[in-house]
Each structure stands twice: as C-alpha cells, then as structure tokens.
A = this chain, B = another copy of it.
C-alpha cells in the first residue's frame, strides 16, 4: 500500500492533436502498481479543450473542480461532483474554451496496450 499526494506525480502536457492547455498526471499507472486499469488526473485550463476523439478504451470519470462543455456523444456540461461514463469507441471531448476555472477530473482507463 502507498499514499501519495496527486501533486507529487509528474505533470505532463497532453499533446493529442488539437488539445490546448491540457495537462495529465498518471496517479496509478503501470509503473506504480496498476495491472488492468489506470487512474489519471487531467486539468484543462480556462481557454483549453480536448477535442472530439474516440478510442477503444472506455472512461470512468469523476469531476473534482470546475465545469466543461461536453462535446461528442452528449450535449451538456460536466461539473464538480459529476460522474461521466464514456463507452468504448464513443466520440467525446471536453471544451473549457469559455470557462473561467480549471476543469479538473479523474479519468480511469483500461490498460489495453500495457501502458
């Protein structure tokens, strides 16, 4: 068992095509104990976006702070204390371009390719 504050995990820029002002920290990844699924923490700064994309991995998300417009499979916003589920292959994205606060969320993902 271990305990670590999330800010102790390395902060990386997300360089997915079209992403702006997005960072990620791998909280529990393959190097830190995960074997079938991993927990990451994303932040999208005001003015930032993760554009619509899709992939095999489903997402289980919990929003910690702020809000963002969901783009792709659903209209609406996700905000603090919301749970978001994105099924495999469903187009999805998160738009904070008109926001004034950081959109911070936990995103759990299967380790399909041994990441």
Question: What is the interface of chain A, defined by CB distance below 8 A to chain B?
Answer: 1-7, 9, 27-28, 32-39, 41, 58, 60, 62, 64, 70, 72-74, 76-78, 81-87, 90, 92, 106, 108, 110
Contacts and interface: CB of A to CB of B under 8 A. Distances in A.
Copies of the polypeptide in the assembly? 2
A62 B2 CA distance: 12
13 contacts: A1-B84, A1-B90, A2-B85, A3-B84, A4-B83, A6-B81, A6-B82, A28-B60, A33-B85, A36-B36, A37-B60, A38-B60, A39-B62
Given A6-B82, A62-B27, A86-B1, A36 B39 contact: no
A93 to B, nearest CB: 10
A74 B106 contact: no
A7 B36 CA distance: 28
